[in-house]
């Protein structure tokens, strides 16, 4: 009886792990969005022009190296936020590649406009496994319907994409869709600590990260549908 219980418990643990971590994404990166589909580069690969290090307090250094923006590990948040001209607030997509270099928390917290509100797409938060939107109706990425648990490898690029339309917010990591949430009638917001990332920002939490190929495009009517 004791042996059977042990086997049963072990089996349950394996099932739990498979359910808890439903996807370790393929080591093969998704194709880069085509340059002829209206994408506008927001990072020139050489400088931080149109970007500035975000003043969170206790942040690490931000610098450009080998065509990448490096966010050094800080006390808490380290990031960049957009300081260029106006950007779309609705019916647009933003895409970038992000890599975790060191640390065990989120290596990409992408804060973006959603109409008159703002939201963050968290990749690898809460000890490195949580993916989701912060916040929906006051509930953050670890406790709303967008929450997913995933494993992320260090020194591996991940293609991250967010699509914002009047009806919903959708997100992808590489080729896998992560979020598809209707936002009509919902309260969309950001956590207080990432307020400085608005209107558009990318941050990491106690984690060294690299960013590249940051781009945005305004959606045409057929792509909105």
Question: Is residue 94's pLDDT more than 70?
Answer: yes
The helix (run of H) or strand (run of E) holding residue 207 is strand 207-218
For residue 126, the SS3 value is: coil
For residue 70, the SS3 value is: strand
How far, in Å, CA of 118 to CA of 134, rounded? 9
Position 225 scores a pLDDT of 58
What are the CA-CA distances from residue 144 to residues 64, 75, 169 (Å)? 35, 27, 14
Render pLDDT for 172-203 as a digit per residue (tens, 0 to 9): 999 999 999 999 999 999 999 999 999 999 99
Which residues make Cβ contacts (< 8 Å) with residue 144, sequence separation at least 6?
A: 132, 133, 135, 136, 137
**For a pLDDT cut of 70, what percent of the chain falls above it?**
82
- CA torsion sign for 121, 111, 102, 210 is positive
Full-model pTM? 0.84
């Amino acid at each position: 009886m004791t042996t059977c219980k042990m086997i049963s418990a072990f089996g349950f643990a394996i099932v739990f792990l498979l359910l808890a971590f439903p996807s370790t994404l393929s080591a093969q990166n998704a194709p880069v969005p085509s340059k002829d589909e209206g994408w506008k580069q927001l990072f020139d690969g050489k400088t931080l022009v149109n970007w500035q290090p975000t003043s969170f307090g206790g942040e690490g250094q931000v610098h450009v190296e080998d065509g990448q923006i490096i966010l050094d590990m800080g006390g808490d948040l380290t990031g960049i936020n957009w300081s260029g001209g106006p950007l779309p607030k609705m019916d647009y997509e933003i895409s970038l590649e992000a890599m975790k270099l060191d640390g065990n928390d989120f290596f990409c917290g992408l804060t973006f406009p959603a109409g008159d509100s703002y939201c963050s797409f968290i990749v690898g938060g809460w000890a490195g496994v949580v993916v989701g939107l912060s916040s929906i109706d006051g509930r953050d990425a670890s406790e709303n319907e967008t929450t997913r648990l995933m494993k992320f490898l260090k020194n591996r690029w991940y293609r991250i994409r967010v699509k914002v339309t009047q009806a919903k917010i959708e997100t992808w990591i590489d080729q896998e869709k992560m979020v598809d949430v209707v936002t009509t009638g919902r309260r969309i917001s950001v956590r207080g600590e990432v307020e400085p990332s608005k209107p558009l920002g990318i941050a990491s939490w106690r984690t060294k990260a690299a960013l590249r190929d940051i781009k945005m495009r305004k959606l045409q009517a057929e792509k909105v549908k």
